[in-house]
Amino acid sequence: MQHKVPRHISDWIKFETFLKEVLEFTTDLLKSLEGKHIDHEYQRVLYKFIERFHLNFQTIKNTWKEYLNNSKYKHPFYLLLRSLVSDYITMIYLIDGLKFEKKTLQPAEADFQLRYIEISNSYFTRVEKEIEKQISEGKLTPKQRDSFLKTEREFYPDHFHTGDKIKVKKIANMDPGTLIKRIKAGHYKKLTGIYQYYFYYSQFEHFTIKTEELFHNDRDKEFKMLIGSVNYLIRGLLLNIGAMKLDKSHLDKLCKVIDSFENKFDK
């Protein structure tokens, strides 16, 4: 079977150049931070977003040529991009809760930490529900449940009620749609346009009578979605680094990557 060659082949080749540029930046950034003491919890969390950004884009770059020749490779790519967009939405929500003291410029992390607990809570809720299911099916005993949850509570006390009976707190159900609604009420309302890409990429996670259509090639639409979402993601990376209060040289280097991206694709 013959695969359709992208009409605007030069744009796809330019995107491969962008992948090299952004990964050179993230590689150098992560190396510069490796082994360094992290002063604040919020910096540790934001650092993890940079790692995930780097790994997902590295995977995209490693198989870019296959995607260039065969549009059906968009399926794994779009799932990687969905993860990146989801991280972006979570990161913006967390940063929106980060404040700094006016006089000392020290971080006031209380709201940031509360938001981090909110977005993490669904994991513990799901685990507790699955354990109860396992007990009802005779695969686990109540004693095994209590032993497991006791250990979890020791590590993550914010997610559990106190007392003899170990129960997970039902704090919040913070899916990306809910996060976007909350972000719109904060300082970063203009950045919520990324949700359209989350919704689009999410369609590739499932197989239904409707999503069969996603196997059809539409290179123009593919490239438009790719550029649109990445445009948000690299600016999210800039916001992340700025919030971490890293050396200004990192911001300057990333701004050059962003400028290069705009020059390549701003028409």
Q: How confident is the model at residue 169 (pLDDT cuts 50, 70, 90)?
A: very high
28 within domain boundaries:
yes
| Range list of H helices, 63-194 | 64-69, 74-96, 110-136, 142-155, 176-183
173 within domain boundaries:
no
Q: How confident is the model at residue 4 (pLDDT cuts 50, 70, 90)?
A: low
Q: Any idea of the CA torsion for 177, 115, 255, 230, to the nearest 10 degrees? A: -20
145 within domain boundaries:
no
Helices vs. strands in the chain: H and E counts, helices first: 10, 2
**Do residues 261 and 238 touch, judged by C-beta distance below 8 A?**
no
- Give percent helix, percent strand, percent coil of the chain, each to the nearest 5: 75, 0, 25
At 124 the pLDDT is 93
134 within domain boundaries:
no
Structural domain containing residue 224: 9-104+190-265
Closest to 171 in 3D by CA, of 232, 86, 113:
113
261 within domain boundaries:
yes
At 157 the pLDDT is 95
135 within domain boundaries:
no
At 70 the pLDDT is 83
Q: Which two tokens stand for residue 10?
A: 């030069």
- pLDDT of 177 over the 50 cut: yes
- pLDDT of 1 over the 50 cut: no
218 within domain boundaries:
yes
224 within domain boundaries:
yes
- pLDDT tens-digit readout, 208-234: 887 777 777 688 888 899 999 999 999
Across 133-159, average pLDDT: 94
User: How many structural domains comprise the chain?
Assistant: 1
